[in-house]
Amino acid sequence: MKQEKMAVWVAGALLALSSSAFADTVVKIGFASPLSGPQAHYGKDNENAIKMAISDLNASPITVAGQKLKFELVSEDDQADPRIGTQVAQRLVDADVKAVIGHFNSGVSIPASRIYSEAGIPQLSVATNPAYTQSGYKTTFRLVGSDSQIGGALGRFAVMGLKAKNIVVIDDRTAYGQGIADEFIKSLGAMGKQPLKHEYTTDKANDFTAILTSIRALKPDVIFYGGADAQAAPMVKQMKRLGINAKLMGGDMLNTPTFIQLAGVDAAGHYSAVAGGVLGQRAAGKSFEARYKALYKQDIVLLGPQFYDGVMLVADAMKKANSLDRAKFLPLIGKTGYKGVTADFSFDALGNLKNAPVTISEVSNGSWQVKSVAH
């Protein structure tokens, strides 16, 4: 009887050891974006794309150090709020994620970057404010071009493309809005021009009548707005009502279906620039776009594809390092030559994306139409 019990115990132990040997190693990937509030449409787009990346990796598992990996998403809502963003960052650190893809907003990404740096966790963000990579952290990487590139491209397009003479700037005082407005003004200065006026609002405002009335007499050709689509849409409607015929121009947070939906017919003829190339001009990008639409029954909102690339880039670095040790795979992110759906990724010493394209588009016939691509 004792021998039978011993045999059963040994068989059970061997089975357990066998199961353990073939068990997948779980790899947690952190994600943070605004998933509630007025910027939730950006965050949900990012989350949709990152879920696609996790699903793709798990459908064709990679092996690292002899172990098959199973990727798991740890998703957090930072509400586009710097204070909440730092709390979210600490939660992701406590969850022992291997990397963080996020945040979406510069104002959240910048303070969160210190927390990730102290934990040695790589952070791949779409933050465009130049300050994001200027702290010297070895953990920060920018998946798109910076405001310097976007603001510069918009400034040159305003002066040389639109032949604008009277330019006014409005920004919402966020890290994103102020950052891109400042870079736009710098680009004007490089061409010997200055805005006639620089006005300020907030990212919660929706009535710009006082500001617009104050600049109407200047007869602006272009009004540059540093801010998001939820504010830009009522702004163009109020411009129309006040008889201001200027072109509104802004960064990537204007380049959404939401801007067109909210502004209606008044969206036509206004411009935006996105830190990235034309997705459909890359075979992988075109395929991704088709899969995204088929899966979620909607168009890509803005930078979701970059979040997808961020996950894939981290997985590629783990595979090349043959290790899940951050100290070993982190340096390989900085040395990557990964070809993604949005770009051929390589980073400079600060973690900035090299050769980052900027796409300028205009609303025409109810959609954003590409006008030019700059590098």
Are 44 and 35 in contact by the 8 Å Cβ rule? The answer is yes
177 belongs to a structural domain: yes
Indicate whether 1 pLDDT > 90: no
pLDDT at 112: 98
Burial 34-46 (b: 16+ CB within 10 A, else e): bbeebbbbbbbbb
* Residue 284 shares a structural domain with residue 138: yes
Q: The domain spanning residue 249 has which CATH number?
A: 3.40.50.2300
Instruction: Please tell me the total count of domains within the chain.
Output: 2
How far apart CA 336 and CA 354 sit, in angstroms, is 11
Domain contains 27? yes
User: Mean pLDDT over residues 360-364, rounded?
Assistant: 97
Are 187 and 164 in contact, with CB atoms under 8 Å apart?
A: no
Q: Which has the closest alpha carbon to 117: 356, 345, 350? A: 350
Instruction: Give mean pLDDT, residues 82-96.
Output: 98
Please report whether residue 61 resides in a domain. yes
Residue 92 CB partners (closer than 8 Å, separation 6+): 30, 32, 74, 76, 100, 116, 121
279, pLDDT greater than 80: yes
Same-domain status, 111 and 161: no
Is residue 250 domain-shared with residue 200, that is, in the same domain? yes
pLDDT at 12: 52
Q: What is the mean pLDDT of residues 213-236?
A: 97
Average pLDDT, the chain: 93
Determine the Cα–Cα distance for residues 334 and 317; give it in Å rounded to an integer. Answer: 9
pLDDT band at 75 (very low <50, low <70, confident <90, very high): very high
- 32 and 165 in a common domain: no
Residue 309 has pLDDT above 90, yes or no: yes
Residues 153 and 140 in one domain: no
Does the pLDDT value for residue 4 go beyond 70?
A: no
3-state secondary structure the chain: CHHHHHHHHHHHHHHHHHHHHHCCEEEEEEEEECCCCCCHHHHHHHHHHHHHHHHHHHHCCCEECCEEEEEEEEEEECCCCHHHHHHHHHHHHHCCCCEEECCCCHHHHHHHHHHHHHHCCCEEECCCCHHHHCCCCCCEEECCCCHHHHHHHHHHHHHHHCCCCCEEEEECCCHHHHHHHHHHHHHHHHCCCCCCEEEECCCCCCCCHHHHHHHHCCCCCEEEEECCHHHHHHHHHHHHHCCCCCEEEECHHHCCHHHHHHHHHHHCCCEEEECCCCHHHCHHHHHHHHHHHHHHCCCCCCCHHHHHHHHHHHHHHHHHHCCCCHHHHHHHHHCCCCECCCCECCECCCCCECCCCEEEEEEECCEEEEEEEEC
Q: What pLDDT was estimated at residue 11?
A: 47
Does residue 18 or residue 268 have the better pLDDT? 268
One domain, residues 221 and 366:
yes
In a domain, 182, yes or no: yes
Would you say residue 282 has pLDDT above 90?
yes
- Let me know if residue 352 belongs to a domain: no
- Judgement on whether residues 141 and 159 belong to the same structural domain of the protein: no
Residue with tokens 């409005």: 170
Question: What percentage of the chain has pLDDT greater than the value 90?
Answer: 89
220 in the same domain as 368: yes
User: Which pLDDT band holds residue 97 (cuts at 50, 70, 90)?
Assistant: very high
Spatial distance between the Cα atoms of 77 and 46, rounded to a whole number of angstroms: 11
Residues 138 and 245 in one domain: no
In a domain, 2, yes or no: no
- pLDDT, tens digit, for every residue of 121-153? 999 999 999 999 999 999 999 999 999 999 999
Task: Tell whether 270 and 284 lie within a shared domain.
Answer: no
pLDDT digits (tens, 9 = 90+) for 6-46: 444 544 544 444 444 456 899 999 999 999 999 999 999 99
The rounded distance, in Å, linking the Cα atoms of 77 and 195 is: 37
pLDDT of residue 357: 87
Higher-pLDDT residue of 6 and 197 is: 197
Q: Which of 285, 273, 284 is nearest to 357 (CA)?
A: 273
Note whether residue 4 is domain-resident: no
- The reply to whether 163 falls in a domain is yes
* The predicted structure's pLDDT at residue 271: 98
Residues 363 and 258 in one domain: yes
List the domain range (segments joined by +) for residue 134.
11-145+280-344
The answer on 102 and 23 residing in a single domain is yes
Of the candidates 105, 61, 89, 102, the residue with the CA atom closest to the CA atom of residue 226 = 105
Q: What integer is the mean pLDDT of 89-113? A: 98
